[in-house]
Amino acid sequence: MTLREAAPILQADNISLRFGGVRALTEVSLSVHPGEVFSIIGPNGAGKTSFVNCVSGRYSPTSGRILFEGQDITRMRTNRRAAVGIGRTFQNLALFGHMTVLENIMVGRHHLLKRGFLAGMAYWAGGAEAEELKHREEVERIIDFLEIQHVRKAIAGQLPYGLRKRVELARAMALQPRLILLDEPMAGMNLEEKEDMARYILDLNEEWGMTVLMIEHDMGVVMDISHRVAVLDFGRCIATGTPEVVLANEHVRRAYLGEVDELAAEPVA
Amino acid sequence: MDWNLLLPLLLNGLIVGALYGVVAMSFVLIYKASQVVNFAQGEFLLVGAWVCWYFLTEWHLPFWAGFLFTMAFMTLFGIILQVVVLRPLIGEPVISVIMATIGLGMFFQALMKWIFGVFARPFPPIFATERVELLGLQVQPVYLMSLAISVVIMAAFAWFFTASKHGLAMRATAFDQQVAQSLGISVPKVFAMSWAISALVSSVAGVVVGAVNGVSSALSFYGIKVFPAVILGGLDSIVGAVLGGIIVGLLENLAQYVDATWLNWGNMYAIAPFYALILILLVKPYGLFGTKNIERV
């Protein structure tokens, strides 16, 4: 396993997050290695999204430390984290609904644009300069990859759900992150859309070289495409390992997979 | 119909309305980006016009230099105002922020009177005063310049918001600050930038009006005229602000015409937009282009 030997791209040490008396996360420690597809699973309210929010900067952990490529980012501002190489998508679609698909993706390149202006964006520009050309090519490459050429001028908010999920992924990819956080990328999708999305995730991991940290409920997909899986339950990390190892774990089966022990199975009189 | 009276009034309405549109745009810009209702918008015009007047008459700068200096000054002015006064108020109740902007308005109103006196002062003549013929009307070149500047500012806004990095970032921030941040956009910078642009653009309008009518505290009345314009257009719509401004400008002058020709009540010019404001709030509280779920204050 060469993956294990490399220094982790993301390392969370004893992350705790409290909102008043609510403990969203309790001493969660995880490390994600470069090149991995790492999934976090767990029941609703287990703290999965809270953990991702701590990594992306939306929440600040009450205690603990988060390292990205060896750099302490625990207190780093959210927008700086995007610039150092962490991109994300959201559980509930968070596209800029009134903007076009292309504009949404262009916002994703914000921190990469040195000059303030992308006058004559994308297609109608003539005589674009080198930097602009580079950005356009990159954006076009992402658009091609996710097969959303046909909707690039469409208003994002008017697209069907599956397409919007793809556009959101495109926007996160436009940041050129080394670590991409996907919060339920397949929620609410039909089987065909899920298969497509799984393929995109694998490709962006293998071909685009992005490390993926993903929250997903569809166990079939998670077990298929993840290198490693972590299980959260009531804000604690109860297991980490390869999909097979995690599936075999007794705590996991009880906490998450719906397997009940004999005591609980007995009807309450 | 007395076309000899109506046509000049309509032209005047268009020219003044375009200026209202420009000021309304800069008002909406602040509201959209940082959710602050800026009651000191009119004072931006006032400060800008006085500063430019000072550069021109006291420093004897040529107009273009004074104009550029004013623009630079107002950009800084907007940034400082946001950072020093508004930034500490982020997260405070809406009413506190409104009180702060009303206070700012009073403060600058008084400060300008203290520094420059209470009397209107004329700008040094900038353009030839011979009238030019337009559609059979005699028009002063300074009015045409005013209209041209308004149109240029509007075009610049349109370009800025669709094709510039910071314009896109501003729209993204207006839509969802959290998401914008996760995409690498610095929200405090966007706030400061929106105040800077708003102050800058308003001051251009202030200089234009000052060049036509002279500089006096009456300039800040534009800040009040902005309300019917933005309520009509929708509080959070830039396009709506422009249209609202032009409609209010035309409305004023039509009211003037109706008043002068038939009613003879006097002073409809000043009051009509506010009747319209009340009507709009009753009939279509979100305006023509406003978002339905915006918070009303």
DSSP track, B240-269 = HHHHHHHHHHHHHHHHHHHIIIII--S-HH
CB atoms B184 and A90 under 8 Å: no
The upper half-sphere exposure of residue B7, i.e. CA atoms within 13 Å in the direction of its Cβ, equals: 9
Cβ–Cβ below 8 Å for B159 and A56: no
A58, A87, A175 ranked by CB distance to B178: nearest: A58
Asked whether residue A92 is domain-assigned, the answer is: no
CA distances from residue A109 to A127, A162, B170, B177, B249 in whole angstroms, order as listed = 21, 22, 14, 16, 40
A99 touches chain B (CB under 8 A): yes
Q: What tens digit of pLDDT does each residue of B54-73 get? A: 999 989 888 889 999 999 99
Which residue type does B184 have? G
Interchain contact, A99 vs B171, CB within 8 Å: yes
Looking at residue A248, its pLDDT comes to: 85
Point out the residue among B164, B176, B186 whose CB comes nearest to the CB of A118.
Answer: B164
Count H helices, E strands: chain B? Answer: 11, 2
- A113 touches B: beta carbon within 8 Å: yes
A165 with A197: CB under 8 angstroms?
Answer: yes
DSSP A155: B
Note whether A207 and A81 are same-domain residues.
yes
Q: At A193, which CATH number?
A: 3.40.50.300
Number of structural domains found in chain A: 2
The answer on A226 and A214 residing in a single domain is yes
State the DSSP code for B82: I
Asked if A96's CB is within 8 angstroms of B171's CB, the reply is yes
Picking from A58, A110, A175, the nearest residue to B165 by CB comes out as A110
Q: Does the beta carbon of A125 lie under 8 angstroms from any beta carbon of chain B?
A: no
Query: Looking at the complex, does the CB of residue A157 fall below 8 Å from at least one CB of chain B?
Result: no
Least confident of A139-148, B119-128, B148-157, B206-215: B119-128
**What is the model's pLDDT at position A123?**
38
B33 touches chain A (CB under 8 A): no
Asked whether the beta carbons of residue A79 and residue B185 sit closer than 8 angstroms, the reply is yes
- Look at B176 and A120 and tell me if their CB atoms are within 8 Å: no
Q: Which of A149-153, B100-104, B153-157, B269-273 has the lowest mean pLDDT?
A: B269-273
Where residue B267 falls among pLDDT bands split at 50, 70, 90?
A: confident
Q: Which of A174, A198, A229 is the last residue of a domain?
A: A174
Of B176, B179, B184, nearest to A111 by CB-CB distance is B184
Does A97 contact B178 at a Cβ distance shorter than 8 Å?
A: no
- Chain B stretch 155-184, residues whose beta carbon is closer than 8 A to a beta carbon of chain A: 159, 162-166, 168-169, 171-172, 175-176, 178-184
Question: How much is the pLDDT for B40?
Answer: 93
Report the residue from A97, A99, A110 with minimal CB separation from B183: A110
Task: Label residue B287 by pLDDT band (50, 70, 90).
Answer: confident
User: Does residue A265 fall inside a structural domain?
Assistant: yes
Q: Do B182 and A82 touch (CB under 8 A)?
A: yes
Provide the shortest C-alpha distance from residue A184 to chain B (in Å): 16
CATH code, residues B3-283: 1.10.3470
User: A181 φ, ψ to 5°?
Assistant: -100, 120
Asked if A63 and A163 sit in the same domain, the reply is: no
A94 touches chain B (CB under 8 A): yes
Determine, yes or no, domain membership for A91. no
Q: What does pTM read for this prediction?
A: 0.84
- Of A174, A200, A226, the residue at which a domain comes to its end is A174
Same domain, A5 and A68: yes
Chain A interface includes B186 (CB < 8 A): yes
Q: Write the DSSP symbol of residue A200.
A: H
Average of per-residue pLDDT across B84-90: 91
Calculate the average pLDDT of chain B.
87
A128 touches chain B (CB under 8 A): no
Is residue A109 in a domain? yes
The C-alpha angle A106, A112, A113, rounded to 5 degrees, equals: 70
B43: three-class secondary structure by DSSP = helix
Q: Please, what's the largest Cα pairwise distance for chain A?
A: 79
- A18 has which bridge partners? A23
Task: Kindly state whether A49 is in contact with chain B, defined as any CB-CB distance less than 8 angstroms.
Answer: no
Query: Residue ranges of chain A with pLDDT lower than 70?
Result: 1-6, 114-131, 256-269
User: Which residues of B fall within a CB distance of 8 Å from A175?
Assistant: 183-184
b/e per residue, B255-277, with b = 16+ CB within 10 A? bbbebbeeeeeeebbeebbeebb
Helix, strand, coil % over all residues of chain B, rounded to 5: 75, 5, 20
Same domain (yes/no): A124, A165: yes
Pair A229, A128 in one domain: no
- B181 pLDDT band, cuts 50/70/90, is very high
Q: Specify whether A112 is located in the same domain as A24.
A: no
Question: How far away is chain B from the Cα of A154, in angstroms, using its nearest Cα?
Answer: 14
Domain extent for A228:
1-85+177-269
User: How close is the nearest chain B Cα to the Cα of A47, in Å?
Assistant: 19
Say what percent of chain B tops pLDDT 70.
96
Contact between chains at B169 and A96 (C-beta distance less than 8 A): no
